Amino acid sequence: MSSLGSLRCNPFISWFFFFIYLEGFGVELTSGECDCKKIHSGEISCGERLSDQIYLNLIGGRYSCFRLLNGTHEIGCGSAEEGNEGVVVYADNADELINLITGLDFADRIIMAFDIFLLNERIIRVLKDNRVHGVLLLRNDSTIIDQKRLNIGFSEDAFCPNEQFDLSGECKNWWNERGALVPAGFRFINWKKPIFVIENLTEIDIIRNFCYEAFNKKNLKGAVLCSARMKHFMRAAGNAEICLQRQKLFYGFSDSSISLCDPLGDKNLFATVPAFMKKFRPKILILSARMDSFSSFTEAAVGEVSALTSLISLLAVAKTIANHSSDFEAVAQRNGRAVIFSFFHGESLGYIGSSATVNDIIKGEFPLDIRLTDIDSFIEVQQLDGSEPTFNAHIDFKAYDTPGNKQKVQILLDAAWSSLKQRESRNGRGSKITVQRKTPLPPSSYQSFLKGKRDIAGFVLRPFGQQYIYNRINSLEDQNAFKNGTAKLRNQVIAAASAVMGAVAGFLAGGNETETDLFNQYDIDELYVSVLLDCFLKYPDWHTCDFFKSITKGDSQFEHHSKETYISVGRNNYSLIRVLMTMLIVNVLGSKNAVNVSDRGQCEDLNKHNKIYHYTWQYDPEDEKFTCYRNSLYTTAAESPAFKLDGYDMHSGVYSTWVESVWTTKQLELFLTVHPCLTRDITVFLSGFIFFIISLIIMELIYLGNKEAIEPMTSILDSDCNHPSPL
């Protein structure tokens, strides 16, 4: 039996020590069902006192690592069904942590607690040790402000994001080497143990001081040790194919639906300028940005740089076009051209949204009657991180070398550069675009379209060359990155939007410099950019921003969801970023010219007989009332074709096969354990035996000393028993 955490001690003994110790420091222990609701005030006050209970239940933080599965294996975290137990151990630095784990006895079991910013490749390697039964990552917001910590790479993605789905079939450039915690990606480790992130200062204090410091620091083999049980059981195991087959089997043999796992999926968004009229078959420019990010931890994928800043730049472009819609639409229709704003979901986990879109277009299931041959050009914006407004345009050399494509790309780049120069002349800020022809195309939705048609002209616009500058892509830490202000980011976002706006003008004008220069006079709405930056990045929750709160009026679910960009699971789930983007696009690109429409029913009835436009009943912050917007917004399923194609080989690696495990409620409990000790056990046994003998002797002496008084009374009692009362 293990020497650490092997025996739970008697309730009185355990909490006699623990309770007295905590009381001495003014910590109030209460009911075993404590939910620590006064978490931000530093109190844990829940009613009935816990001095006679065994467990101290903690909330365990908002973030807990969860499991994903694909066609070949499983990744992430999970506990045994009854939970994982171990003695709580805390380390201040990396060397102490590594020495502690490597020095454990074979049978020891520990729960390792340490500052989350100590995580690196060395520590991750030792944390995989089977003697580590769980991990508590302590994340104190007050320490995050330290600039040195902000400079530490903390990307949960791999050196080569989406390597399996790369256009070339292999990773030729380590894009994320500066940021990735480990080469294969922290998110893609199969931990086989629970990992929680603890943020509450009271809980951090209890774990570190009142548990580890008080009982475990001096001697991990002491008489009484503070232990923890971490429970976060994942129902899915093996791989996606096994899990889905088991789930289907359960559905067939049971009246109740037992869920084990669900495929990742949500919706893509597409908005066209101009609307696609009948017999209008234009050349198409796709403007793309992804809506999603990911993290190993629940509700942690905020994705400020991974997704949000790029979305803001394209919304700013849409706002400029909307402000001058008649001019743009007239030129587009005259030249037979159109722009499709495309916001894909699930891109960070195998290009789920873009691969589904290409598949829909090929099969004729896309809501617009278009073919891949209609897509003339493609521009994608990525990772605006608040650095200098200098950009790199990454070009796929094979598509670029296709006859005619060099001219197409050059028209886009010249117009983008011209727009930046005009902006620079007005505000004195330097900007530039460097063309990257020799490096491979970075991970992007553009790759999905090139797989479908190899000669689509285009580029990926982002502020880096051969490696990512931002070192927290797809991470728990890709949030609160702009605590010190968004001035530099605002300048960069506006510059990126100006460049894209110039490229749009060049495309719609077909290279006509006169028309292009006319469009370049239209400035990006800087106030609108500022509002979006504040709402997306500044506020702790998106529903506390007045602008977002106003456009989402009538959506009862909005205020109940966290600030997150992770793709949802299943068709009926609610992706907050997608819902928010839908309303923002309708607000920006929608027109308010529907007359005699006074309620939602009348507005939605207009959709029954109209295949060109869509009508949406939504609150208008400008007029402060609900309005029926006419728009050309379309949605498609962002679901991997792997789950739609009959007989698809889940091991082929052609499409994303990620599913998310269903899990049970998370639990974190502290309790005391007794270290097994033969000497102490013998002492306790002998003490009890001696006490028994002494008690027996004393009772015998009492009996002998009062024998004369006791025996007559015994005779009387016997007589009463032999002659009972007639009653």
pLDDT tens, 126-165?
999 999 999 999 998 655 555 556 678 999 999 999 999 9
Provide the pLDDT for residue 7.
39
pLDDT above 70 coverage of the chain, percent: 86
Distance CA 398, CA 240 (A): 35
Alpha carbon dihedral 483, 297, 584, 419, in 10-degree steps, equals 60
Answer whether residue 59 shows pLDDT above 80: yes
Parse the chain into domains and list their residue ranges. Answer: 7-240+666-676, 265-639, 679-718
Distance CA 275, CA 339 (A): 9
Provide the pLDDT for residue 147.
52
Cβ–Cβ < 8 Å for 341, 318: yes
Distance CA 357, CA 344 (A): 9
**List of residues 6+ apart from 163 with CB closer than 8 A:** 170, 171
pLDDT band at 73 (very low <50, low <70, confident <90, very high): very high
Provide the pLDDT for residue 719.
58
Distance CA 282, CA 373 (A): 11
- pLDDT tens digits for range 99-133: 999 988 878 899 999 999 999 999 999 999 999 99
pLDDT band at 54 (very low <50, low <70, confident <90, very high): confident
Answer whether residue 546 shows pLDDT above 60: yes
Provide the pLDDT for residue 172.
85
Cβ–Cβ < 8 Å for 184, 177: no
Burial 406-418 (b: 16+ CB within 10 A, else e): eebbebbbbbbbb
Answer whether residue 590 shows pLDDT above 90: yes
Q: Which has more confidence, 224 or 478?
A: 478
DSSP string, 415-449: HHHHHHHHHHHHH----EEEEE-SSPPPS-HHHHH
Query: For the chain, how big is the Rg over CA atoms in Å?
Result: 33
Three-class SS of residue 128? coil
The answer to whether the peptide bond before residue 274 is cis (omega within 30 degrees of 0) is yes
278 CA to centre of own chain: 42
Helical spans, DSSP H, in 435-575: 445-452, 487-508, 513-519, 526-533, 546-551
Q: In which region does residue 26 sit, left (phi positive, over 0), alpha (psi from -120 to 50) or beta (all else)? A: left
Cβ–Cβ < 8 Å for 642, 27: no
Cβ–Cβ < 8 Å for 111, 91: no
- pLDDT tens digits for range 191-214: 999 999 999 999 999 999 999 999
Provide the pLDDT for residue 425.
64
Residue 230 CA neighbour count, 13 Å, CB half: 30
Provide the pLDDT for residue 595.
81
Answer whether residue 502 shows pLDDT above 80: yes
Provide the pLDDT for residue 560.
82
CB atoms within 10 A of CB 20: 10
Looking at residues 697-725, what average pLDDT do you find?
A: 66
Torsion angles phi and psi, residue 516, rounded to 5: -60, -45
Provide the pLDDT for residue 432.
84
Q: Give me 277's structure tokens.
A: 């009229």
Residue 430 CA neighbour count, 13 Å, CB half: 2
Q: Give me 443's structure tokens.
A: 């991970």
Looking at residues 593-611, what average pLDDT do you find?
A: 88
Provide the pLDDT for residue 342.
98
pTM of the model as a whole: 0.87
Least confident of 273-282, 319-328, 375-384: 273-282
Residue written as tokens 């456009």? 551
Answer whether residue 41 shows pLDDT above 50: no
Helical spans, DSSP H, in 80-188: 94-102, 121-127, 141-144, 147-150
- pLDDT tens digits for range 425-467: 666 566 789 999 888 999 999 999 999 999 999 999 999 888 9
- pLDDT tens digits for range 13-32: 444 445 444 444 444 433 33
The CATH class of 265-639 is alpha beta
The average confidence (pLDDT) of the chain is: 86
Looking at residues 262-288, what average pLDDT do you find?
A: 93
Least confident of 1-5, 261-265, 387-391, 539-543: 1-5
Q: In which region does residue 554 sit, left (phi positive, over 0), alpha (psi from -120 to 50) or beta (all else)? A: left
Q: Give me 325's structure tokens.
A: 């819609």
Looking at residues 598-603, what average pLDDT do you find?
A: 92
Distance CA 538, CA 174 (A): 32
Burial 99-117 (b: 16+ CB within 10 A, else e): ebbeebeeebbbbbbbbbb
Cβ–Cβ < 8 Å for 206, 58: yes
pLDDT above 90 coverage of the chain, percent: 66
Provide the pLDDT for residue 61.
85
Provide the pLDDT for residue 12.
40
Answer whether residue 9 shows pLDDT above 60: no
Residue written as tokens 């209460």? 30
